[in-house]
Structure 1
Amino acid sequence: MDIVLKRLPDLRLLAALILLCLAAPASPLAAQNRQEPGAAVVLYRVKAGDNLYELAERYLTRVEDYVAVQRLNAIANPRRLKPGSLIRIPRSLLRHEPLRAVVQSYRGTVSVQRGSARRPAAIGMRLGEGDILETAEKSFVSLRLPDDSTVAMPSRSSVRIERLRRTLLGGAIDRLFSIVKGRASANVTPMSDPDSRFDMSTPMAVSAVRGTEFRMSFDPDARRATTEVTEGKVAFTADAGGSAAPGRAQLVAGGFGIATDLAEPVALLRAPDLLRPGRVQDEEKLRFELRPIVGALRYHLQVARDAGFLELLDDAETVAPIVELEPVANGTYFVRVTAIDARGLEGMPAVYGFERRLNRIEASVEDARKGRHRNYLFRWRTPDAPSAQYRFQLFAASQADPIVDEAGLTSTSFVVADLPDGSYRWRVMTLQFVGGRIYDSWSGFQELRVDTEK
């Protein structure tokens, strides 16, 4: 009895120390998760032989944070877990592996800043957290992510990859792209995993999605962020300082847009119609004409090689519904048209396919005497259609019907002899057979004046 009474204070002191250790936070992260019971957690089903120490070594960033998991789940003995039971693990404690985005296409001047080093983008370049992409004037880039989601950037934009990672426990993917300036658009693959995230942010707002198509922009001078949703839904959260409800996520559905100075989402303008959408683009520059729509202050056109607009070639904004874009090689392309309203929100898009068949005809005429006859040699050159067939027509200035109409020519010249004095007009048609289709185009009329010396 004397021995028991003598050791009793020591046992009480030991018990008090144990309780104090269990009550003290093991780390700031552990304290944060204890103070925020609504913080995101991952559920783990215990397997035979599991214990908290081994789980911490396998899945947690810091092994000592097993204490936070022990407290959160009221586990008496970290070495003895019940097989089949569920353990809640704070997401903030989980270890992750880095993922990489791949440059799928680019055009113009696109640079990647990694730390203090800057280098030009290249197809297949792998990018990760901390990398900053910048596009210059008339420059574009698109990224493909491991889950086949894509992010595209137009001209004069800068985007930083803040987070691109996968947690080792559960495999949830976390993606956050921060727009420093300009615009970015995303086509996000639907996520079956409820713990995966795709966020796009600016210094003024964050847009979170689970599988949708949307655009986001940030104007650092105006301190204004916008989000336009073309398909699906986006949760838009604005910081304090704008008209949008600060700190509260607003659900923006497809066909609507919002900005940090708007109190609620507004309907986007419908897509403008492209006039003569089937017209073959055979002039020096691409030329498109839109049917004006009410409420549009500007129009935005983009040209790409693919219907998904991952390989952009050119874009332009215009007040007038007519725009000319830079030349492209012959082939099949796509044009996307949108209207921009007074709030600066870009509306719903319409995509059209078109054929590009440039048909430059460089023409000239020479006259020469051969004996008693005077020959007129009409020449032309078609650098864009070297294997074409041609049709030559010559008109007297006062007549509607041609006096010469020769089809099926394979040479790039034609001779007419002994033309009477007077004024004439002539032209050449180029006829091409490409992919089972026929493309024909007339040159402009050329003038000829014949004045024979007496």
Structure 2
Amino acid sequence: MRGLAAAGLGATLCLLTPLASRAAEPTETYVVQKGDTLYELGRRYFVSDRDYRIVARLNGVRDPRRLQAGAVLKVPTRLLRLRQVEARVAGFKGQVTATVGGRTVPLTRGAMITEGAVIATGANAFLRLDLPDGSQLSIPSQSRIRLGRMQEVEMTGVVRRELEVQRGRLESEVVPLRNQEDSYTVRTPMSVSAVRGTEFGVSYDEAAGRSGTEVIEGLVMVSQGAQSASIPAAQGALSGAAGVNGPLPLPPPPKVPAAGKVQDETTVAFAVEGSETSGSYQVRLATDAGFVDVLEDTTASGPEVGFGALPDGVYFLRLASIDPSGLIGMPATYAFERRLNTLELGQPAASREGNLRRYKFRWKAGGDGQRTYRLQLVRNGEETPVVDEGGLTMQELTVTDLPAGVYHWRVMSRTYARGSYVEKWSSPERFEIGH
């Protein structure tokens, strides 16, 4: 059984100190278990089984065959075997590349990405990576991320993961770390963000020489040089040459008043209500609540967010306001149903056959399902329809000998799909018959 001595900060956060600033050689601590010997530990965990001699001298062990259970050994990190922590491709969309050792590796769902890989996403692209402990990494569009140190110390089980945002943004959902020496660190050229279990995002704007950190849940320590700040949930920080500016309040989640409405028109669009300072939004659309199968990852400005035409189905929308400094606010997630069901009224066509005047009303319907139709024609100033014909199966109806006047007509479709009926009226259209 492996043992680990308690060390470092508390369970809420962990700030890593650069190796160059440490006076002593980096070491790992190991709690001796009953039956352990230095010979056996060396054989199982050391790079060379002869390295037990260095460990014996460092810890004052006289007999490598006799170790006291519960004693703490210090072992130089350089002597220990390390196991690489791999990231699995859970899902991706668009142009995503991974470069390892100067060679571009094609990405497939389920592929394993190792340390040293540089991942780049193009416009409206997205990548989701899963780590063995359940932590998740989301790389939005127009980003470049390097997987730095991704290692587990075999002897102690300590896991250290270090990622670098070279351009764009990285979003992390980190499960609580198992012990005090585990670490999860995200670096940019301007900041270091370190956590022990939280959901947060880190971005880097090379042109502005500034990085941003947004904390959705938990606590993150952000450092720039000798300056650091503890950033709680719903707060963020900006880091630049002048240091760390934070905590700063993040914009609240935007509201979508009609989010539950079935999206049945030709294009899918939502009216969005953001904060007074929000001029744009981070927009993400997926077919699953975990946002693995992402269809859109982009930004939008203005009071409406649209996606064009989408196939029928259930979708998930994640929105977050972007403040003037570039910090992305607290997200809001909405589920909605897409069921195409359109009605487009055509221009009525008039014809004459002898003294009989005919008026053909035509319309088009879009979407799956079996339909019947109902047409109503109302003369201005009257409440009772001149024509109210239901149960129609054709997308047209001819009416004869209408008196001169101004009318309004509309059509209702009754669609049977997915085991239920849906009724929808078109908007009324004006129709005039002269004398």
Asked if TM exceeds 0.5, the reply is yes
Corresponding residue for residue 13 of structure 1: none
What runs of 5+ residues in structure 2 fail to find an aligned partner? 1-18
- Superposed displacement of residue 158, structure 1: 1.4
* 1-structure distance, mates of 2:48, 2:383: 89
* 2-structure distance, mates of 1:250, 1:129: 28
* 2-structure distance, mates of 1:308, 1:421: 60
The alignment status of 1:45 with 2:32, answered yes or no, reads yes
Corresponding residue for residue 26 of structure 1: none
* 2-structure distance, mates of 1:440, 1:64: 80
The structure richer in helix per residue is: 1
* 2-structure distance, mates of 1:32, 1:320: 48
Structure 1 pair 376–297 and aligned structure 2 pair: CA distance change class (3 A):
closer
* 2-structure distance, mates of 1:313, 1:286: 13
* 2-structure distance, mates of 1:80, 1:304: 58
Higher relative contact order (CA 8 A, sep 6+): 2
Give matches, 1:399-410, under 5 Å.
402-410=385-393
Structure 1 pair 368–152 and aligned structure 2 pair: CA distance change class (3 A):
same
Corresponding residue for residue 353 of structure 1: 335
* 1-structure distance, mates of 2:420, 2:75: 63
Please state whether the residue corresponding to 2:253 is helix, strand or coil.
coil
TM-score normalised over the length of structure 2 = 0.83
Corresponding residue for residue 266 of structure 1: 248
TM-score normalised over the length of structure 1 = 0.80
Corresponding residue for residue 135 of structure 1: 121
2:187 to 201, 218, 230: 201
Is the 1:331–1:357 Cα contact (8 Å) retained in structure 2?
A: yes
Corresponding residue for residue 426 of structure 1: 409
What runs of 5+ residues in structure 1 fail to find an aligned partner? 1-30, 239-245
The alignment status of 1:146 with 2:132, answered yes or no, reads yes
* 2-structure distance, mates of 1:284, 1:126: 40
Is the 1:299–1:321 Cα contact (8 Å) retained in structure 2?
A: no
- Superposed displacement of residue 122, structure 1: 2.3
- For residues 357-409 of structure 1, what are the alpha-carbon distances to aligned partners after superposition, in whole Å with 9 as ceiling and x for unaligned? 22333544556667875554444443323424433333446656543233444
2:60 to 65, 74, 78: 74
* 1-structure distance, mates of 2:247, 2:305: 30
Please state whether the residue corresponding to 2:290 is helix, strand or coil.
coil
Q: Which moved more, 1:398-407 or 1:52-61?
A: 398-407
Give matches, 1:177-216, under 5 Å.
177-216=163-202
* 1-structure distance, mates of 2:78, 2:425: 68
Corresponding residue for residue 103 of structure 1: 89
- For residues 82-127 of structure 1, what are the alpha-carbon distances to aligned partners after superposition, in whole Å with 9 as ceiling and x for unaligned? 3453323344532122232222122222222233332543222221
Corresponding residue for residue 424 of structure 2: 441
1:294 to 248, 254, 276: 276
Please state whether the residue corresponding to 2:366 is helix, strand or coil.
coil
Is the 2:31–2:70 Cα contact (8 Å) retained in structure 1?
A: no
* 2-structure distance, mates of 1:372, 1:386: 40
Give matches, 1:229-378, under 5 Å.
229-238=215-224, 246-261=225-240, 262-364=244-346, 375-378=358-361
Q: What root-mean-square deviation, in Å, do the aligned CA atoms of Structure 1 and Structure 2 show?
A: 3.1
Please state whether the residue corresponding to 2:57 is helix, strand or coil.
helix
Identity of aligned residues (%): 35
- Superposed displacement of residue 55, structure 1: 1.5
Give matches, 1:15-26, under 5 Å.
none
Is the 1:105–1:142 Cα contact (8 Å) retained in structure 2?
A: yes
Structure 1 pair 277–94 and aligned structure 2 pair: CA distance change class (3 A):
same
Is the 1:393–1:402 Cα contact (8 Å) retained in structure 2?
A: yes
1:390 to 370, 373, 381: 373
Structure 1 pair 343–421 and aligned structure 2 pair: CA distance change class (3 A):
same
> Partner amino acid for 2:72?
L
Corresponding residue for residue 167 of structure 1: 153
Is the 1:217–1:227 Cα contact (8 Å) retained in structure 2?
A: yes
Is the 1:282–1:441 Cα contact (8 Å) retained in structure 2?
A: no
2:24 to 36, 41, 49: 36
> Partner amino acid for 1:173?
V
Is the 2:368–2:417 Cα contact (8 Å) retained in structure 1?
A: no
Structure 1 pair 377–34 and aligned structure 2 pair: CA distance change class (3 A):
closer
Please state whether the residue corresponding to 1:56 is helix, strand or coil.
helix
> Partner amino acid for 1:141?
L
